[in-house]
Structure 1
Amino acid sequence: MEKVASIKTANMATKRAPSSPQELVSNLPLSERDQLKLHQRLLGTLEIGTLINRFFGWLSEQQQVTGLEYIHPVENITLSAGSPKKHKAKYMLRLEQHYFGEINITSQKRFSEQDLITHEQSLGIVIHYLKNAIDHQSLEKIAFNDALTGVMNRTALEELLPKEAERAQRYNFDLSVMMIDIDHFKTINDCIGHMGGDKVLRHVSTAIKSQLRKSDMPFRYGGDEFLLILPNTDLVGAHQAATRIMASLNKEVAEIPNCPVSPKLSIGIAAYQQGESHEDLLRRVDNALYDSKNNGRNCIS
């Protein structure tokens, strides 16, 4: 069974004439108490995944649902709770002509009409919380992303590196960081101007991102320096990643016309040591980068 609907406002409900007193009771809209409970469940978070899990928990208390999936292809979001089963109700979420994704609700048994009414009314509430969470996520991307290169910025690094170091410490996971500097970038800027230099920065960023896993985190550290957080990666793995990045850049930008130098990279790598702070890890990778510069540049230390 598949039910397709478009949820547009918080007041949307399915209505039809009851044929018995019992049916009248079963087809009443969600009570104010139930609506209040849903609001209380959804309050206090702007995390989309948390909202989906909380809504699934609330809905599971109302009826026998087994799974819930939220998909927003525009925002590249796919989240699920529970496990999918045979019977599915599918809803497209729209508010004020704006698209906020789709929700699929599944059950072991066929949904009753009252079940579908509950879906529609509750989604009319949920969509407002999803809108706020999606708006917040978009603002975070703006706040944490470097507009020129498309990687995260130093503000994001200062928030994420301590968390990754703590995770590596707590669970004894491997963690490596990589610091990258564009060799002779000032000379390149002098040759081709700042707009040309910006183009080189974007090329370097593209070369870096092309060689990373989904779990890796690239940042623009400042100026012509980049820093990468490589979770679950030891020093050997970090060195292999650095080698791939250097090779990728050579393909991306072989040379610059009328310029005596072409973009090359000096790279420093360091692996997290149990017990050290994230500041110590940063100092060690910074020292490794300077070793590369002192060793003639265009190398990995």
Structure 2
Amino acid sequence: MVSPMNGRAELRDDKVITPFGDLAPRPDIRPEVLLRLSGKLQTTLELGQLLEIFLEEIQQAVLVDGLTFHHEPTNTTIAVGRNSLHTANYRLQTQQDYMGDMTFHRSTRFREHELANIEGLMTTLVYPLRNALRYHEALAAAFRDPLTGAGNRVALDKTLSREVELSKRHDQPLSVLMLDLDHFKQVNDEFGHSMGDKVLKEAVKAMTGCIRQTDMCFRYGGEEFLIMLSNADQSGALRIAERVRMGIGQLSFAGKKDKLQVTASIGCATLQPSDDTEELVSRADTALYVAKDSGRNRVISDLDIEYTRQGDVSEEPSPEPNQEANGH
């Protein structure tokens, strides 16, 4: 079923295109167009490619400048073609599945017979789109930690390698945060593993709520997470890290006897020209352990460690010449 969502394209309320109402304009589409479109939509399970094929084919029957597809459950948005002033919006739904919302764009208003043609063409998209969404979700699950929903190590390796390469190619900053939940073993020991799982899930929600849409959160292992900050220099990364630390610190959980609050220690590192992915992560990891050794619940940058070491070296007294000569 494909239903119009609003009236910006002169749609009547409650118009549903399957089956067509007796008073609604009927689609005027050549059978060979539908047959060719149906066949081409069966050639791919890749969501973006499927929508590109659909737009290219329907433009032979209806003037459309572009389309935008949004699937709320997977937070997926794909735009094909170009946006224009006038839109027609549809909700795609079968009896079992919600398959997203589709918006068509063009520079002039849609007429009723054109909307009927669009709706007729969309009937060929429903099941290929459902298959593509299931494939998309299966691929996403393969790169997602099943407990927290954060990216897993496989996703981290692929994504970070790509981002390091892009950062160097386009001379853009890239930073990573290595985060560890403080005293997490005590959470499991004193409150149980089910509480520990809940803490991990809520911590990831807090992290994702504090970072930008372009940033990504990965579960590195146990209670340790890596947050990748695209186009973020050291000062920007530290601001985001402090937001994340405070967001996690505001979490509160009700135990059987006592209330549980958690904190996080965070190490921050920014990509240097000579870095590869291992060196970048290693410096963030070192900064994390300095944060934990310094009292936990704080953010430490890799550059802070370098400055500390330089200070330690400069303050170390040199031996007196006579002491060195006499062997004292």
State TM-score, norm by structure 2: 0.72
Q: 5 Å matches for 1:1-301? A: 1-3=9-11, 6=16, 27=28, 29-31=30-32, 35-36=35-36, 39-40=39-40, 43-47=43-47, 49-80=48-79, 81-86=81-86, 89-95=88-94, 97-107=96-106, 108=108, 110-111=110-111, 113=113, 115-116=114-115, 118-253=117-252, 263-301=262-300
Aligned partners of 2:76, 2:147: CA distance in 1, in Å? 24
Aligned partners of 1:185, 1:285: CA distance in 2, in Å? 20
Aligned partners of 1:249, 1:55: CA distance in 2, in Å? 44
Aligned-pair Cα RMSD in Å: 3.5
Aligned partners of 1:239, 1:255: CA distance in 2, in Å? 31
Report if aligned partners of 1:90, 1:102 keep a CA contact under 8 Å in 2.
yes
**Ranges of 4+ aligned residues in structure 1 off by more than 6 Å:** 12-16, 254-259
Letter in 1 for 2:66: G
Alignment gaps of 5+ in structure 1 = 17-25
Alignment gaps of 5+ in structure 2 = 1-8, 301-328
Matched length: 284
SS in 1 for 2:176: strand
Report if aligned partners of 1:144, 1:152 keep a CA contact under 8 Å in 2.
yes
| CA shift digits 1:216-255 (9 cap, x unpaired) | 1111111110110111111112222222222223322499
Aligned partners of 1:75, 1:97: CA distance in 2, in Å? 17
Match of 1:20 in 2: none
Letter in 1 for 2:185: K
Higher alpha-carbon Rg: 2
| CA shift digits 1:163-206 (9 cap, x unpaired) | 21122122111110011112222233222222232233234323
SS in 1 for 2:59: helix
Match of 2:6 in 1: none
Aligned partners of 1:28, 1:60: CA distance in 2, in Å? 12
Aligned partners of 1:220, 1:112: CA distance in 2, in Å? 50
Aligned partners of 1:199, 1:27: CA distance in 2, in Å? 55
